[in-house]
Amino acid sequence: MTNNERDATNACEIAGPAANPGGSGTKTAPAAWRILVVEDVPSQQKLLVKVLSKSGHSVATAESGQEAIELVEAELFDIVLMDVQMPGMSGLDAIRAIRMRELNTGTHVAIIAVTAHVLSGDAEQCYDAGADAYLPKPINLVDLMAVLKMAAESHPRRDTESS
Amino acid sequence: MTNYHERDRHCEPGACGGAILVVDDRPEKLVSLQVALSPLGHEIVVVGSGQEALRSLLHRDFAVVLLDVNMPGMGGFETARLIRQRRRNQHTPLIFVTSYGDDVHAIEAYSLGAVDFLSAPVVPAVLRSKVTVFLELHQRDAQVREHAERLMRQTRRLQSLARASLEIHAAQSIEQTLQIVADSVREILGSQQAGVIVTADRNGPAQHELVISPGGRVSALTGSQRGIDLPDFVAQLARCPHPTADELACAHLGPFWPGDRAATSRGLAAPLIARGGYTMGVLLASGRREGEYTPDEEALFQQMAQMAASSVENTLFAEDRESNRIKDEFLATLSHELRTPLSSILGWAQLLKADMLDADEIREALDIIERNGQMQCKLIDDLLDVSRIVTGKMQLNMRPLSLTAVVQAAIKVILPSAQAKQVSIETSFDEQVDRISGDSDRLQQVLWNLLSNAVKFTPAGGRIEVSLEAAESHARIIVRDHGEGIKPEFLPHVFDRFRQADSSICRKHGGLGIGLAIVRHVVELHGGSVRAESEGPGRGTTIAVTLPLPVEPFGTASDASGASPAAKISGLRSKAVPWVDVQDEVLQ
């Protein structure tokens, strides 16, 4: 594969259904998801919002773990992208809190933890807290799309009567 | 009547126990009673009246008092009543001796607290056996009291030991631990002087700490510098637990341990033994001025030495653990701080390549990439600086410079981020202290770090004050903000490497926490000092950098202030330029 061909494939993979309505030459087009991006660093947040909305998904943002918990309680999301290193409540604590509340509601939103740590045991920490998947920083956008797909498909959003 | 004291030749005063007081107005009775009692071998005091008896009792205690009932003036019963009034004599055994034998007298006698009643004629053997009972009781009493006092003393010492143990446990540093130990030894054992030497083998040359009481910490001794072979001395003392005053005040410790020349007893020395079994120090106590140390006290001393040893070891261990924890935290923060900008750079680059952005978004993306690239640069520069500090390889490029210019240059760099938060910067420059010799880039870095922190920790709309003023033979640059402030517990550590006030997860602002460490190092390389002050969270922070001025008047003849050279030389302080809002200056 030449560089140009590789770039084109990546572009398609990142762009998703919005850029390739015909679906030709791409993998199975995923549905448009409702995604919550939890990230306090502005340029990072903007980046994720840009990528995800360009890919046709509907994106909400939160700047802190606390905000994330409130938003998840208020509405249903398909996926939550949770940065782990945040000021105030850490991302892992927010994940734990969300999972606790889900014990009552019976729902389970797909959560992907994003972390800059590379110490061994870091991935386990994320899974132990209740994350379904884990992405290291710097985020590779192609990997991001793949993980999103996997997470959303293994934990599809279920509409509950009470919403 | 005269008092007549008789002492048995074989009886040392006090050694045979109590004395007997015999009270009778008739001399012949006194003599016969004395004769009857002398085989007992105790001291016998005879008096001829109730008053004299009372007087004798004022001066000393008696094991038993023999009272004649029938005396002219103050009779036996009345004397007894008066004796009993004295608190001290409420339980002194009183034996009445009388010619009458009727029960009435007996009842009255007992009601006055008599322990026995002898009627004449007194049978000497009976008298002796009755008196003996009370003499023995008295002796046993005295023994019990002495024993109780000994136990009390021991209890007090153990209480002091327990208290000292708690204090040692709460000590924050090795120096504090040693001071508490030395002070406690002095307090508990009553020595004039106590001291602890600890050879702490850290990563580096062995350091010897000597702490004395009274006196405090002697600056850390390094054996070779002072011509002392401390380990040898410590080992020697450890082998000899009872050093004399001279040995303790020996030339080894010289002026640090003057010793107690007035001490008459030998001193004490006990080794501090580390867990590995090696001697890590020695606990010393000078001799006392009165009496030798008892075995109990020596045992206590040994215990204190052990306590000191384990406490010092624990502190060292805790310090190592803490130091490791800080380094771990630093690495975690470092990882995050390096990867986050990279994530932005790579992410936006990927978006650019995927051709997903419109013209505005492209511009934004490139902006973000550039900004994050620069942040990365700064981070790496800081890390390299830290590396230079640690290896001692930071070099300054010393040139004549203008402090005002350096401060203004730093302000110019920070202005955009200050303006982004609507934080205003006010300045005041005393031009008399403008010219020094220094590394202009490094000093600018220092100022930038301080200003960057001030802006970072000031809420939007706040203000920062920067001033350059004279302080005796130094120039002082002060950066003051009214923002977050510093917690008092953290204040002493604010310039430490790798330290941030909050641990990684809870921090509100990014950064590695090495900026201030670099500030301190650079300032100290210039021969200056830096100080931080804060009244607490929410009360703002003031950082003052003090730099020495050159000894000779420095710089060219033309001065910005226009002050005459004469004024400068005579040391007149010029008026400081009033507060000026810097935005105006910069925009001109």
pLDDT one-digit tens code per residue, A26-72 = 445 556 899 999 998 888 899 999 999 988 999 999 999 999 999 99
* Helix axes of B295-353 and B124-170: crossing angle, nearest 10 degrees: 20
pTM: 0.52
With cut-offs at 50, 70 and 90, classify the pLDDT of residue B3.
Answer: very low
Per-residue HEC secondary structure of B324-360 comes to HHHHHHHHHHHHHHHHHHHHHHHHHHHHHHCCCCCHH
Closest-CA distance of chain B to residue A134, Å: 15
B187 or B587, greater pLDDT: B187
State the pairing for strand pair B116-119/B194-200. unpaired
The H or E element containing residue A83 is: strand A79-83
Contact (CB<8Å) A47/B344: yes
pLDDT average, residue stretch B4-33: 68
DSSP state of A121: T
Residue B365 near residue B345, CB atoms below 8 Å: no
User: How much is the pLDDT for B565?
Assistant: 42
Please give the order of strands across the beta sheet that includes B64-68. B4-6, B44-47, B20-23, B64-68, B94-98, B116-119
Task: Provide the 3-class DSSP secondary structure of residue B218.
Answer: strand
B545 or B262, greater pLDDT: B545
B198 or B17, greater pLDDT: B198
B11-24 pLDDT, tens per residue? Answer: 334 445 689 999 99
B408 Cα distance to chain centroid: 45
Closest-CA distance of chain B to residue A162, Å: 35
B432-444 pLDDT, tens per residue? Answer: 888 889 999 999 9
Residues of A in contact with B334 (CB under 8 A): none
Query: What's the whole-number average pLDDT of chain B?
Result: 79
Residue B156: pLDDT over 50: yes
Complex ipTM value: 0.76
State the pairing for strand pair B20-23/B44-47. parallel
Does residue A138 have a cis bond before it (omega within 30 degrees)? yes
With cut-offs at 50, 70 and 90, classify the pLDDT of residue B501.
Answer: low
State the pairing for strand pair A34-38/B20-23. unpaired
Residue A160: pLDDT over 50: no
User: How much is the pLDDT for B246?
Assistant: 63
With cut-offs at 50, 70 and 90, classify the pLDDT of residue B10.
Answer: very low
User: How much is the pLDDT for B561?
Assistant: 46
User: How much is the pLDDT for B490?
Assistant: 84
> B213 forms bridges with which residues in the sheet?
B194
User: How much is the pLDDT for B54?
Assistant: 92
Nearest to B356 among A46, A54, A138 (CB): A54
**Which residue is listed with tokens 């690239």?**
B373
User: How much is the pLDDT for A25?
Assistant: 44
Residue A62 near residue A38, CB atoms below 8 Å: yes
CA distance B588 to B580: 13
Residue B395: pLDDT over 80: yes
CA distance B18 to B16: 7
**Which residue is listed with tokens 């026995």?**
B116
Does residue A87 have a cis bond before it (omega within 30 degrees)? no
Residue B217: pLDDT over 80: no
B510-543 pLDDT, tens per residue? Answer: 566 788 888 999 999 999 999 999 988 888 999 9
> A35 forms bridges with which residues in the sheet?
A59, A79
CA distance B52 to B512: 91
Residue B251: pLDDT over 50: no
Chain A interface, Cβ < 8 Å to B: 7, 10-11, 14-15, 19, 41, 43-44, 46-48, 50-51, 54, 85-88, 90, 116-119, 137-142
State the pairing for strand pair B116-119/B399-402. unpaired
Closest-CA distance of chain B to residue A115, Å: 8
Please give the order of strands across the beta sheet that includes A110-115. A58-62, A34-38, A79-83, A110-115, A133-136
A74-121 pLDDT, tens per residue? Answer: 988 999 999 988 877 888 999 999 999 998 888 889 999 998 766 667
